[in-house]
Structure formats: C-alpha cells, structure tokens
Amino acid sequence: MKRTALFLLLLLFGLQIAPGQASNVDDAWLFNRQGLFKASQGDHAGAIKDFEKACRLNPFDDNALTNLACARNNLGVILANQKNYAEAIRHFNAAKAQKPEDISIRLNLLSTLVTVKDAAAIEREAAEIIRLRPNDVDTVLKVAAAYQNSENGLAAQTTLEALADRVVDDSRVHETLGRLLYRNGDLSEAEYHLNRACNLDRTENQKAKSLLEQLRRENQVNQHSRNYSSIHFALTCHESFSEEWAEGLLELLEEAYEQIGEKLNFYPSQRSQVLVFQTEDFHNVHDLPEWAGGVYDGKIRLPVPGSSVNPGFLRNAIRHEYTHHVVFLLARGNCPIWLNEGLAQIFEFDSETDGVAEDFKPEIEMLQNFANAIRSAQNRSQVAAIYGNAHQTTLKMIAEAGWASMAEILEKIGKGFSFEQAGREILGYAPINLQAASK
C-alpha cells in the first residue's frame, strides 16, 4: 500500500512592475519581496501576512497570489508534521482556494484528512481531485491509496475500476487493481487485471507474475471452502472444518482484536480477512519454509494440520499474524521488518511480563539486515536467533518507552518518518540508540 506524501512548494515568484503604475502596486511589490525573504528564512506565518497585504494592494497580480498559496501550503505541511491537524487543514483549504488547480496542495489536504479519519471530507476532496485530473494515472493512484489508508477499500476499488475503464492500457492501473481485488477476495477479477498488467508491461514484472501464479493456486484450493464472519473478521476455511470450529477461531480473533488494539490504541474499522488452509494446501499455495506458522500479505493466512485440531492450537499464530495486520495499517506498510516481527512475537508469546534478558545487547547489523538474514538462514536455530534478537530488542524498547509511545512512533512512521526520526519526535531521542536499525 502506498502512502500519500506531503509536498512543500517553492516560493519563486516576484512581481514585475511596469513604469507608471500606481503606488499601491509599488507597495504590493515591496510586501511581496518582503514575504519572499521571510519565507526563505522559515517565517511562513510572517510571509503569509505580507503576501496577503500584497494581494490586497494589487489583487490582479497572480504571482503574489501564487506565493500566498505556496506559503499557506508550506505552513500546512509544518503544522501537519507537528500534529496540529486542524490548523494544517485550514491552511491547505485556504491555499486550495487561492490556487485550486494545484494538485500538490490538494494531495496534502487529502493526506491530512486521511490522518484525522474524516471520511466525508476525504470523499469530497478525492472527487474534486479526480475531476481535475481524471486520466492522470499517478494522481488517481494516490487518491486510491488514500482511500486504502483510510480503510475504505470499496471506494479504492471503485476509483481504480473507473480509471481502468478510462485508461485501458496502463499496466500500473491493472496491477494495483488486481492486488486490491486479490486482498478483497475477488480472485476471478483479480486474475483478469493481473494478467492484463503482465501482458501490458513490456518489462518482466516478476512481482505481478508471482502473485498471479499464487492466485491461481489459491483459486484451486478455495473451490472447497466455506465463509464465516464475526463483527471484525471474515473467515474462509476448508469445508472439512465445522461451523463450531470456525466460531471458536473467530472468538480467538476477536480476543486478539481487543487485546492488541488496547496496547497499540488501534482498532481496524473494516473486517480483517483470515484464510485457514490445510497445511499441505498452505505450502502448495505459498512458497515458504516448512517452519512458517502463517503469513500476512493483506490477509491473515494460517496453516492447520487438520479439522480435528482444536482452534486454541492457533491462538499464538493468530496473535502473531494479526499484529502484522495492525502494524501494517498503523505504519502504512513502512515499519522496519525487525520491529514488526518483534511486536508480533511479544503478542504471540505474551512475553512483556518476562522482561528483557539481563545481559542482552541488540545486534544492530542483524536487525539492519533482518530480511536477508532470514533468507540466508541455514536452519531453525539460526532463524530463532535472528527472531530472538528482534524480540528482545523490541521488549527493551517497550520497557524504556512504553506502549503509548510505541503506538505514536508507528503512526509517525506511517506519515513518512524514518524509525529514528519518529523516535526523536516522540521521545526526544533515538530509541535505545538504534539509528542504524531503522534502515
């Protein structure tokens, strides 16, 4: 899932004065130049006042108006980063009114509306952006991403389907739509769009091809499945699992929803998708090592040896994979892998009360190269050491910073901050000196 970034705009416009113009125009020129200087010094509020004076003195000068819009936008970005969202939105709206055709300003506003979860305003702003740039693929993909970040998967799907009808030959549109449809469980339509993306893309799009192959394997397995649901989860499992078994699993999922949500102060608003496979089918669909106890790729996927297994057997795996889901939504897919896995293990094993090993010291290089280390691991003991390092490091961080700060750090990461930047913003220092581990 892509996030919508906040864009600063350059203030580069000076006034050109023709001989013989009235003194008001001369004064406007002076205020405009003064505003440009203040903006260059970072005094955006002062610059706005000067640009406003310039616009009042000479309301026909587009350069002064553009400078005013840019200054308001830039101040809005600063305020949004300071979490003063109400003021940021006010400045973005004012900048938009002064420069309505500027898509960067509108995308900044949209991103901030997503942050404050104003669903009605998101829909209004998204509709206006699409009206201005209906066939601009980059822009509409950002709008769809904003919908996904606000957990409005249906609006994202509708937006992408309409774009695919208007722009029929862009592989990015079909791939993005195919991935979304796949996450939403519409495998038939997902297959069509992923196949279209592969055919349109002249380069070797291995990720799209790999997902297409996985989808086709999963489609064969799902021919013998049933669907169940609870308040916050939609469950698909093999028809050999009874309704009573499915209800027991859903109860465990709802327990995870409450307990993990309480710690991280986040509760997904849309139903989370959970797929249970018989172990053999799980490994046929997913190219994963035999020790993998589940996988999260927008859906929670769990292997089970057979329908005779008590649902409680899956409690730890459920908590592990559901944590990945929550962290993905909070950090918008940008959380460092080691931290993601560390949090998942804490909730999997209920290990916070155990504390950190007395002589533990984080192995930074192992954290920094977590994904490569796992891929190159030769046996389970090496995998356990890599995961254990992430687990202990995250426990140490929780002990020092607390859960509330952890939730805020994840939220900052979701807004584009690095791990180190987020730690400094929330705590005033880089958590447990892990600057290198944020890469």
Provide the b/e sequence for 194-212 (b: ≥16 CB within 10 Å). bbbbbebbeeebeebeebb
CA atoms in the 13 A half-sphere facing the CB of 393: 29
Q: Is 84 left (phi over 0), alpha (psi -120 to 50) or beta?
A: beta
pLDDT digit string, tens, across residues 106-144: 999 999 999 888 999 999 999 999 999 999 999 999 999
* pLDDT tens digits, 86-108: 999 999 999 999 999 999 999 99
CATH number for the domain spanning 252: value is 3.40.30.160
Instruction: Calculate the average pLDDT of the chain.
Output: 87
**pLDDT band for position 5 (50/70/90)?**
low
Residue 331's Cα: distance from chain center in Å? 6
**Mind listing the pLDDT tens digit for each residue in 381-410?**
898 999 999 999 999 999 989 999 999 999
Closest among 256, 356, 366, 358 to 312, alpha carbons compared = 256
Residue 98 confidence (pLDDT): 93
Domain co-membership, 351 together with 286: no
pLDDT in tens, 58-79: 988 888 899 999 999 999 999 9
pLDDT of residue 65: 92
Are 290 and 283 in contact, with CB atoms under 8 Å apart? yes
Same domain, 266 and 301: yes
Tell me the pLDDT tens digit for each residue of 328-380. Answer: 999 989 999 999 999 999 999 998 877 788 788 888 889 989 989 888 888 88
Show Cβ contacts of residue 191 under 8 Å, excluding neighbours closer than 6 positions: 178, 212, 215, 216, 219
Predicted confidence at residue 142, as pLDDT, reads 96
Least confident of 13-22, 269-278, 334-343, 408-417: 13-22
Q: Are residues 315 and 344 in the same domain?
A: no
Query: Considering only CA atoms, which of 336, 392, 321, 403 is closest in space to residue 363?
Result: 392
Where does a domain end: 331, 365, 386? 331
Give pTM, 2 decimals.
0.74
Is 373 within the bounds of a domain? yes
Runs of H (alpha helix) within 265-299 = 279-285
Q: How far apart are CA 268 and CA 152, in angstroms?
A: 11
Residue 415 belongs to what domain range?
Answer: 337-438
- Report the pLDDT value the prediction gives residue 210, as an integer from 0 to 100: 86
For residue 279, name the pLDDT band (cuts at 50, 70, 90): low
> In this structure, what token pair is assigned to residue 128?
């206006």
Q: What percent of the chain has pLDDT above 70?
A: 89
- Structurally, the chain folds into a number of domains equal to 2
Contact (Cβ atoms closer than 8 angstroms) between residue 105 and residue 95: yes
Whether 143 is covered by a domain: the verdict is: no
Quote the CA–CA distance of 197 and 213 in Å, as a whole number: 13
The DSSP letter of residue 357 is -
Residue 141, in any domain of the structure: no
Element (H, E) at 236: strand 233-238
**Residue 350 domain flag:** yes
